[in-house]
Amino acid sequence: MQQVECADVHHSYDGVRDAVRELNLTIKRGEVLALIGPNGAGKSTTLRILATLQKPDKGRVLWDGRDAWDERYTIRQKIGFLGDGTALYPGMTAAGYLTFFAECYGQDDAAAKARVTELLQVFDLAGKAGARISDMSKGMRQRLAIARTLVHRPELLLLDEPADGLDPLARRQLREVLRRVASEGVGIVISSHILRELDGFCDAVAVIQQGRLEVHGPVDDVINRYEVGRRLHEVQVTKGLVRAIELLRRHEGLVEAVLPLHKGEPQPDPEKDERGLVRVRIHGSEERAAHLLKELVLADVEVISLAKVRSDLEDVYSSLGRDKVS
């Protein structure tokens, strides 16, 4: 696989409720694409269409230029798919479950055994090879389900909320595994609500809202487009927090957050406390930020620093419904 493309894809349920509308999306070989948007935006439907499990009402999915639906039985052999709420077989053992799928993909006994052993080690499940799935924790079952998507060495990996049920260590291990898989040329699409973990891990992002693609491109480009004219700044205040908040609201409108100045300090009361950290989006150039700093000082606010903070995918997501990424 060099490239998979959604070309003007449209899909509705019952001919009334549009799930995906005029979707144009490209996944390249070795690329990790984050698919983000609110619940009901069409992310899961998009993944199912890419997996050839659902036929679009209009438009096509093209796999290296070929119609994926027409060749779906061949193409499915090249796809690893983790759906929302993927079912496991509780009576099977972890090793038995992976072996079953390896054999379904035509691997002989030796190849299946080697691949299963490898995946159990990669996902830290080697000690649970003989354990029944019904006796495994939610996190272990999720890791096993992800391992199953890799058993046949797919060319395209489609993951719907893969970090669900995983603890922070397991999520970090998952990122490392997926980056290694991508480095081998596998295209990966991830739909997830843990957005801060996608930032810095994914190569590209597609933002979907109400079935439409709002923006698609490299992560840094999307964030830069989102930040134009509204860059997030942090203002560290040691005296005059209330005056600082009033002034920033008067000049900039929305103050996004008021936080403790240092880790371990209590949450400041924005109506009476003297010190704290204010997060605010400053519209305009850095000269505007310099002017605001001068205004704060003239208002007898003691400011340690006023610094620009890079936005992330969670900021982009939060903007949906409030304003568009244009």
Question: Strands 212-218 and 204-209: what pairing?
Answer: antiparallel
pLDDT of residue 85 exceeding 90:
no
pLDDT of residue 67 exceeding 90:
yes
Q: What is the mean pLDDT of the chain?
A: 90
Average pLDDT over residues 249-256: 82
Q: List Cα–Cα distances, 118 to 72, 89, 151, in angstroms.
A: 28, 21, 9
List, in order of start, the domains of the chain with CATH numbers: 3-222 (3.40.50.300), 228-318 (3.30.70)
First to last CA, the chain: 31
pLDDT of residue 316 exceeding 80:
no
| CA dist., res. 50 & res. 52, Å (int) | 5
Instruction: Compare 191 and 319 and report the one with higher pLDDT.
Output: 191
Average pLDDT over residues 218-224: 84
On the 0-12 / 13-18 / 19+ scale of CB atoms within 10 A, 139 is: middle
Percent of the chain with pLDDT over 90: 69
pLDDT of residue 238 exceeding 60:
yes
Tens digits of per-residue pLDDT, 19-53? 999 999 999 999 999 998 888 889 999 999 999 99
CA 266 and chain centroid, separation: 31
Residue 278 neighbours by CB under 8 Å, 6+ apart = 234, 235, 237, 241, 244, 245, 248, 255, 257, 258, 259
Tens digits of per-residue pLDDT, 191-218? 987 777 787 789 999 989 889 998 899 9
Helix (H, G, I), strand (E, B), or coil: what is residue 98? Answer: helix
| CA dist., res. 21 & res. 61, Å (int) | 14
pLDDT of residue 311 exceeding 80:
no
CA 276 and chain centroid, separation: 31
pLDDT at residue 289, as a whole number: 87
Structure tokens at 168: 């922070």
| CA dist., res. 124 & res. 293, Å (int) | 51
On the 0-12 / 13-18 / 19+ scale of CB atoms within 10 A, 326 is: exposed
pLDDT at residue 298, as a whole number: 95
Average pLDDT over residues 124-153: 96
pLDDT of residue 3 exceeding 90:
yes
Read off the pLDDT band of 227 (50, 70, 90). Answer: low
pTM: 0.81
